[in-house]
Chain A
Amino acid sequence: MTDQPILVGYDGTDAAQRAAEFAGQRAAAVGCAVHLVFVLEWSPYSFLSTKELEERHQRRTEELSRAEETLKPALDALAKLKVPVTSEVRYGHSGELICAIAKEKNASQIILGRKGGSALGARLLGSLPLTLVQASPVPVTVVP
């Protein structure tokens, strides 16, 4: 049993679900925990209208509870594998946040899924796996 968890970037997509299950199998083999991270893309420097300012706190509460809902299937799947699992939902830049949390939690590695877009698209629009491969402090595994 090691106290270094495996970090999983999770967003509710099929790819993320596959990543969570893959991480579950590794964790069961090594005997470590899995930590699921759900990042809601957010910049404190974006621009909101007056109406959006008024409703921001309300929307945030809704977004958080929706994210918690989305995490459920993955949490259930990991519980079935008898892997200890924790999760958190955070607002911010997904690449920066996942790197920061990996350090915070002293994670052994990061596992995430990919949607399978074209390489060109990923390069033009940016992609989380590419960002993490460049910037992550720990090994990164991308599950197809």
Chain B
Amino acid sequence: MFWKKTATATAVALMSALLPHVAAAQEASFDEQINQAIAPISNVIAGTIFYSIPVAGTAFPLIVGWLVIAATIFTLYFGFVQFRKFGHAISLVKGDYSHPEDAGEVSHFQALATALSGTVGLGNIAGVAVAVSIGGPGATFWMILAGLLGMASKFTECTLGVKYRNEYPDGRVSGGPMYYLSKGLAEQGRPGLGKVLAILFSVCCIGGAIGGGNMFQANQAFQQVVNVTGGENSFLAGSGWLFGLVMAIIVGVVIIGGIKSIAKVTEKIVPLMAVIYVTAGMIIIISNIGMVGDAFAQIFVGAFTGAGVAGGVVGALIQGFKRAAFSNEAGIGSAAIAHAAVRTKEPITEGYVALLEPFIDTVVICTMTALVITISGELNSGLTGVELTSAAFASAFTWFPLILALAVVLFAFSTMLSWSYYGLKGWTYLVGEGKGKEIVFKLFFCLCVIVGASMSLGPVIDFSDSMIFAMAIPNIIGLYFLMSVVRGEVTQYWDKIERGEIKKVK
């Protein structure tokens, strides 16, 4: 890692020498202009999606309840599948049931890894920090609970994603909510409803790709880069558009230019970054093992008393649930698109594998971030988002913000690539496939990178949240209709295992 650190430092020094500070001062107004133009629109959208009712003196967004209730229903309907079949899921990922003849096809591990690379990222670093800075340590408890329940939602949607996927004559495989909504509901004699939900989902998916999958990522990556280059005095402060432009060009080179080498490099570095992040977090936690008990106490007490949190218990709960859903995307439908390409004869197997996703993402990584923030004592520093996480890690390793900045930029980049694909799938479902149509979407996607980097955090988070959560409305309606189909798959699969038709190969 050392050379990367040096390289970053050198690049930063070089750029600050080249860029006159005067330019930064002038461009600040340009950023503000973009902000002012977009904020009213995003406020209206966010206000609609996050329609709230007052509960115990605080506003409770209905959409958060929608997700948690769905996750609870799936958990009960499938008899706590996330706990009973956890071992089976691990066994599937290890390839215990993969037929050797299928070597060279997409394995369970690969589908899971790709889906994870779309979700593990800023939600785990910045989102958690937002949750605990607003909701207090207690938000962590609700986040873990939402993660555990979300495993059942993920199980349901990814099973359907594989079952109703499209396999084209040329060998390409493509699936996702738009296909299970339209095909699955048509099977049940509701083709009209299916079509409407599929279209609604596609529209929201494009919005989610642009919001949470793009603008939020660009915004937080920029914040972190400004942070490590000197905060307010950074040569980049106020020049979000410039950072966005560079990022947009790199994204464009990959998704429009089809330059695979950049994507290849990213996909090698991103898992490494994840490992470094988790290792650093574990080191901090282990070296402060004496404080872990206290941190958990704060988490539990905060969860049920809501001490010092605006909105008390409900405030903590809302933040925990919201950030968990934003991070692991269970019930949102996005992962079903990535998981659909796996090679398996049994759709249910991918459902089992997919339920590991919220576990890794939320129960393990998000909890770790929350613990580090709580232990570090930075919670009352007034910081939020990625800056808070950065400060928390810096309290143990002073050099960590640099690594984190690099990680954030790379996570942001890989999440953008994944979401550009999800958004594109929604887009092509609506307008049809074709090179010209795809390029229109990709260009617009790149433009949004610039807008996202230029805006202040509030409007970006509101817009990102609202579009990502909006996807859950059509998706979960469909899941309620189709959960009996998933149960049918469960029954026939375990019958086959019992009869010995499906056996471990290892």
Residues in A lying within 8 Å of B, measured CB to CB: 40, 42, 44-51, 53-61, 63-64, 90-92
Contact = CB atoms under 8 A, between A and B. Distances in A.
User: In the complex, which of the residues B104, B268, B421 has the most CB atoms of chain A within 10 Å of its own CB atom?
Assistant: B104
A54 B172 contact: yes
A83 B250 CA distance: 55
B337 A50 contact: yes
Contact of B170 (A47, A48, A58): A58
Interface residues of B, number: 34
A51 B271 contact: no
User: A-B pairs with the 3 shortest C-beta distances?
Assistant: A58-B171, A91-B104, A44-B107
Given A50-B118, A50-B338, A58-B170, A45 B421 contact: no
B421 A50 contact: yes
Interface of B: 95, 98, 100, 103-107, 109-111, 113-114, 117-118, 167, 170-174, 263, 267-268, 271, 337-338, 341-343, 417-418, 421-422
A48 B109 contact: no
Nearest to B414: A49
Contacts of B422: 50
8 contacts: A44-B110, A53-B114, A53-B341, A55-B171, A57-B106, A57-B173, A64-B104, A92-B103
A48 B106 contact: yes
B110 A53 contact: yes
Contacts of A59: 171
Given A53-B338, A54-B172, A90 B114 contact: no
B103 A44 contact: yes
User: In the complex, which of the residues A40, A44, A92 has the most CB atoms of chain B within 10 Å of its own CB atom?
Assistant: A44
B110 A40 contact: no
A61 B171 CA distance: 8
B105 A47 contact: no
B114 A63 contact: no
A58 B342 CA distance: 13
B341 A44 contact: no
A22 B419 CA distance: 53
Given A57-B171, A57-B173, A58-B170, A47 B113 contact: yes
Contacts of A54: 172-174, 341
A8 B263 CA distance: 36
Given A53-B338, A54-B172, A56-B341, A46 B103 contact: no
Given A53-B338, A92-B103, A45 B109 contact: yes
Contacts of A61: 171
A47 B263 CA distance: 11
A63 B337 contact: no
A104 B285 CA distance: 50
Contact of B263 (A46, A49, A53, A55): A49
B89 to A, nearest CB: 16
A40 B341 contact: no
Given A55-B172, A91-B103, A91-B104, A44 B338 contact: no
Contacts of A50: 114, 118, 337-338, 341, 417-418, 421-422
Contacts of B98: 44
Contacts of B343: 56-57
A51 B421 contact: yes
